[in-house]
Amino acid sequence: MGEFSAEEKEAMKAEAGIAACNFVKDGMMIGIGTGSTVKYTILELGRRIREEGLEIAGIPTSEVTEKLSIEQGIPLVDWTECSALDLVIDGADEFDSNLHLIKGGGGALLREKIVAESSTGMVVVADASKQVEVLGTFPLPIEVNPYGWEQTQRRIQAICSGPVVRRGPDYLTDNGNPILDAHFGPVISNPVEMEAQLRSIAGVVEVGLFTNTADVVVLAAPSGCEMIRKENARL
C-alpha cells in the first residue's frame, strides 16, 4: 500500500504502537509482542506505569521484548503464574482484508503464536506499508526442528512456488530452532489451508501464518491512525 520513506514509516510505527495502548486497562494480563512497532507500545506502557500508576503484568514473546519490558518497569510473569491473557499486542509483516497475518520476520513466531492463542483478544499494530490485498509478498517464516531440517526444507519446497531458504547458517530462534523463509511470490490465496498444510509436515515447529487470531489492526498512515476491526471482533 504505497511507498513511504524511512522517516514516515518510523513515525507511523510510533503512532500505531502508542495508540494500541488505549486497549490496555488496569488489572490486565497482557501478551507483549515483538518487533519495531511494538517497541513503541512497550515504551508507552512503561510511561503509563511510571506517570499514571497503571497496574498490569505481561508475558513477553521474545528475549528482546523481555529485556526492553524490564528496562521500562513492566512487571513480567511466566506461564506458571498465568493460564490466560486478557489481551495481546503484536506487530505484523503483512495483513490482508480478513486480518490474516504473516508474522515472524523477527524470529519470534512460535512464542507469538502461543501467546496469541492464549489471549481473549489480539490487537495488531502496523503501518500502512504492511497492508496488502493478498498475503505472500513478504517471505513466510517457518520455524523448524534442527534435526533433518534439510529434509523439512525439501518437503516445504515441494508446495512452494518460490525458493525456500534458511535464514543464515548460524541463525537460531530463542527456542534454538532454524527458520526457513518460504517465498510464495507473491500469492498465498488460502492462508488457512496453507497454514494447516505446512503444519502437517514433520519437522515444522510453527508457521508464520496467523489466521483468525487478530481482532483489531491499529493502522497508522500519513493521514492518521485508524482501527480496522474484524466483523466478529472480541474487542
Mean pLDDT by 10-residue block, N- to C-terminus, for the chain (235 residues)? Answer: 80 95 98 97 99 98 98 98 97 97 97 98 94 97 99 98 96 98 93 98 99 96 92 92
Q: Could you tell me if residue 71 is inside a domain? A: yes
234 and 119 Cβ atoms separated by less than 8 Å: no
What is residue 77's predicted lDDT score, i.e. its pLDDT? 98
List the catalytic residue out of 15, 112, 143, 195.
Answer: 112
Alpha-carbon span 191 to 25, nearest angstrom? 32
- Domain span including residue 178: 140-206
Active site residue 112: yes
- Same domain, yes or no, for 15 and 99? yes
Question: For residue 209, what pLDDT is reported?
Answer: 99
Q: CB of 59 within 8 A of CB of 115?
A: yes
In the block, cell 499486542 appears at: 89
| pLDDT of the residue at 3 | 76
pLDDT at residue 216, rounded to an integer: 98
Residue 106 shares a structural domain with residue 168: no
Residue 232 included in any domain: no
Q: How many separate domains does the chain show? A: 2
CATH code assigned at 183: 3.30.70.260
CA distance 20 to 69: 16
Q: How far apart are CA 144 and CA 149, in angstroms?
A: 6
